[in-house]
Structure 1
Amino acid sequence: MRHENLSVRIVRRLGDPPSQRGSVSGQNCPDLFELSDGNFAVIGTDRTEELDSLLPADAARADYERIVVITRDTLLRAKRDIPDA
């Protein structure tokens, strides 16, 4: 079952905005955000169908979950903004 909390807000972007990472057309805009509930939101490419069967045996995905891919550059630029704890 999906839990949707309408009181959750985006607190901040982690890393540089897509425009600073070379996305001038808005066609490739992976992004990471910290949410007010302490979780993180990811905008990326849905590659669930392609990668689902490749998950390790100890990994699982609920029906409502997706495997989302972001670029290495997106994550590396966000690293400075990801809290240690």
Structure 2
Amino acid sequence: MSQIIRRLGVSPRDRGSSGGANCPDIFELSDGRFAIIGTDVTDSLDTDLPADASRADYERIVVITRETLIKAKADIPDA
């Protein structure tokens, strides 16, 4: 089982989230994958996926804020 090894970017609190309602986050896992906490928008965006994109039944489409990704950019490895 993978474990979270580090957060990418700053914490939600450092981005101004003082409650539990708006806490998107990005984490690097011990196996090299990334875990994303975001809003599940699968139902509303699934039909908008491009023809060459698909998702398995166990996969979800999640949205994070632009700020979350921008703050994480410096921590995302190049390889």
TM-score using structure 1 length: 0.91
Alignment correspondent of 2:28: 34
Q: 1:26 Cα shift?
A: 1.7
- The amino acid that maps onto 2:59 is E
Q: Show the counterpart of 1:51.
A: 45
Aligned-residue identity in percent: 70
Alignment-derived partner of residue 55 in structure 2: 61
Moved over 4 A (4+): none
**Alpha-carbon separation, structure 2, partners of 1:50 and 1:29:** 20
Over the residues paired in the alignment, what is the CA RMSD in angstroms? 0.5
Tell me how far 1:48 sits from its aligned partner: 0.1
**Structure 2 length normalisation: TM-score?**
0.98
Separation (CA, whole Å) in 2 of partners of 1:58 and 1:19: 37
Structure 2, gaps ≥5 residues long: none
Q: How many residue pairs are counted as aligned between the two chains?
A: 79
Q: Which residue of 2 aligns with 1:13?
A: 7
Gaps of 5+ in 1: 1-5
